[in-house]
Amino acid sequence: MRIGVLALQGDFIEHEHMLARLGIEAVEVRLPRELEGLDGLIMPGGESTTFGKLAVRFGLVEPLRAFAQSGRPVWGTCAGLIFLAKDVGRDQVTLGLMDVRVKRNAFGRQIDSFICDLQIVGLEDKPFPGVFIRAPIIESVGERVHTLCRLEDGTIVAARQDNLLATAFHPELTDDLRMHALFAQVCERSSPGRVAYET
């Protein structure tokens, strides 16, 4: 199995390390041709406006959309979630694929970062350590979007839509491999043109 990690900016190396711990080949993606032959793609945390600008510069916007629209799994974490979203409340480049409205930097500045236990659909065996760093939140979801995790106050921090997965937190900054293992399982059972997540 080969899972790509968008390596334009942000903490892509940390995702690569998590995949390596699972015995999965990670492929850094910076150019359209590097999407070929991948079973899935992770878009990491970082700075979402920078993602958009670099994706335009390297001709990646339409190839990334086509990759996701082919049915192959795509997972956006933090800034990656913003890059997937249809509505981010401001004018910036996004893929516009996931029917969610996102609020950027919803928890404040980096000094306001925090960790909390999360109850995530599909990982019910024990809480997952959620690392939030200048994180977005999902303010609302469309009809096809399924909420996977909420904070105690009801704030949505993880969701899926067909083959798209989005988390506001950073699983790659923990020692817990379960989110990456779950994504890898989805990649393994999906194929181009088929919806990866069952509802």
Catalytic residue among 15, 16, 78, 180: 78
Helix (H, G, I), strand (E, B) or coil at 15: helix
Residue 170: active-site member: yes
How many whole angstroms separate alpha carbon 134 and alpha carbon 39?
29
Q: What angle do CA 186, 190, 193 make, to 5 degrees?
A: 140
Structure tokens at 187: 């990649």
Q: CA 19, CA 7: separation in Å to the nearest integer?
A: 14
The answer to whether 198 is a known catalytic residue is no
Name the residue with tokens 């993602």. 51
Q: Catalytic one among 15, 16, 149, 172?
A: 172
Answer yes or no: are the C-beta atoms of 53 and 84 closer than 8 Å: no
- Please confirm, yes or no, whether 15 is among the known catalytic residues: no
Q: Which of 15, 16, 170, 187 is catalytic?
A: 170
The catalytic site residues sit at 78, 170, 172
